[in-house]
Amino acid sequence: MSDHSQYLEYIGVYNADASICGEVSYWFGARLGIRHCSLCDVTHGLFRERADWVQCSESLGVSFSTYHRDDAPQDVRDAANGNYPIVLGRTASGIKVVLNDSQIEACNGSPESLIAALRSAP
């Protein structure tokens, strides 16, 4: 198990865009099975953020910020290197990858599983 006191925050970046067009496109694409974001499955229900996700993320002891591909700060986009969705960890010395898409996907949309994966990540 890793020492999570090293993280000042977790940062999740969705495989979707923040614009209204991007949100609508993702929503319809997800319903039709042509778009997918494993991090969205964990954090959001059909129309809004999941209450169980909020509760689980608050148990981390540090903030969990989320962005879309197109509204993430430059240092976050640089750390993601085009790989979305992703969960990053900010430390005093920079940002590192904590969970990649396949690791998030393995959580099967479960907030509890994502938190457990964060706690056991190297």
Sequence letter at residue 86: I
pLDDT above 70: residue 102: yes
Tokens of 63: 């903030």
Q: Which CATH architecture describes the domain 4-120?
A: 3-Layer(aba) Sandwich (3.40)
Per-residue model confidence (pLDDT) at position 24: 60
Query: Angle at CA 103, nearest 5°, toward 98 and 107?
Result: 115
Sorted by where each begins, the domain ranges of the chain are: 4-120
Give the model's confidence band at 1: pLDDT under 50 very low, under 70 low, under 90 confident, else very high: very low
Mean pLDDT is lowest, of 15-19, 32-36, 51-55, 96-100, for 32-36
Per-residue model confidence (pLDDT) at position 2: 46
